[in-house]
């Protein structure tokens, strides 16, 4: 039976992407689907403004981390809010490279877990290369990819996100319909069930 593709837009620096990762992967066991993981970056400063302000937007960001930590605790995960805003670009390059070599999940699990434990600098070439090596891939080949084709590949992901009208992560796209947020997974499941894709 041909698997139905659903899209999952994510960011390593999004706590709710981290929380949605396992449920997204579980869909491949419960339904006849293939999840395509697509990196997407959100400019937090553009969304919420300067985060050193003490206003409603800043309080909202703080509250969202409280919720993320509550959910994480229930699942046995650890989420420590980052001490600054990180660019996920290099980590995205690693994810794209790992996906090309069928090691996306092993790579991403390590990046998510360590970043949210404040054990990984996602902007460090050495740190990302070390994870690439951990999952059995060639760090020198990865760095060559990062310096050549990776930017175009990531830009293609962002272009696809624009086409799908994605504005934040995590976002599922099922048969053209968007579902934004880790807590929308039950609606995703109902949609898939309605499509007759339950295994």
Q: What is the CATH number of the domain that holds 122?
A: 3.40.30.10
Nearest to 40 by CA among 176, 199, 161: 161
Domain of 159?
Answer: 4-194
Q: What does the pLDDT average to over 140-163? A: 97
Between vectors from CA 139 to CA 81 and to CA 141, what angle results, nearest 5°?
125
Total domain count for the chain?
A: 1
Q: What is the pTM of this model?
A: 0.92
The token duo for 44 is 């937090």
199 belongs to a structural domain: no
Question: What is the rounded average pLDDT for all residues in the chain?
Answer: 93
Task: Identify the band that residue 53 occupies on the pLDDT scale cut at 50, 70 and 90.
Answer: low
């Amino acid at each position: 039976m041909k698997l139905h593709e659903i899209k999952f837009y994510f960011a390593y620096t999004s706590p709710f992407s981290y929380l949605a990762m396992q449920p997204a992967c579980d869909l491949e066991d419960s339904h006849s689907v293939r999840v395509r993981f697509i990196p997407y970056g959100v400019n937090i400063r553009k969304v919420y403004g300067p985060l050193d302000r003490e206003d409603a937007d800043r309080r909202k960001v703080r509250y969202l981390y409280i919720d993320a930590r509550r959910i994480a605790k229930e699942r046995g995960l650890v989420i420590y809010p980052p001490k600054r805003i990180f660019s996920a670009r290099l980590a995205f390059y690693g994810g794209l490279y790992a996906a090309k070599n069928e090691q996306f999940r092993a790579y991403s699990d390590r990046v998510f877990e360590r970043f949210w434990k404040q054990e990984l600098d996602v902007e460090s070439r050495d740190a990302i290369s070390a994870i690439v090596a951990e999952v059995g891939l060639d760090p020198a080949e990865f760095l060559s990819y990062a310096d050549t084709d990776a930017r175009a590949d990531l830009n293609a992901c962002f272009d696809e996100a624009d086409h799908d009208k994605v504005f934040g992560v995590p976002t599922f796209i099922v048969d053209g319909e968007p579902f934004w947020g880790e807590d929308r997974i039950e609606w995703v499941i109902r949609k898939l069930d309605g499509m007759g894709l339950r295994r």
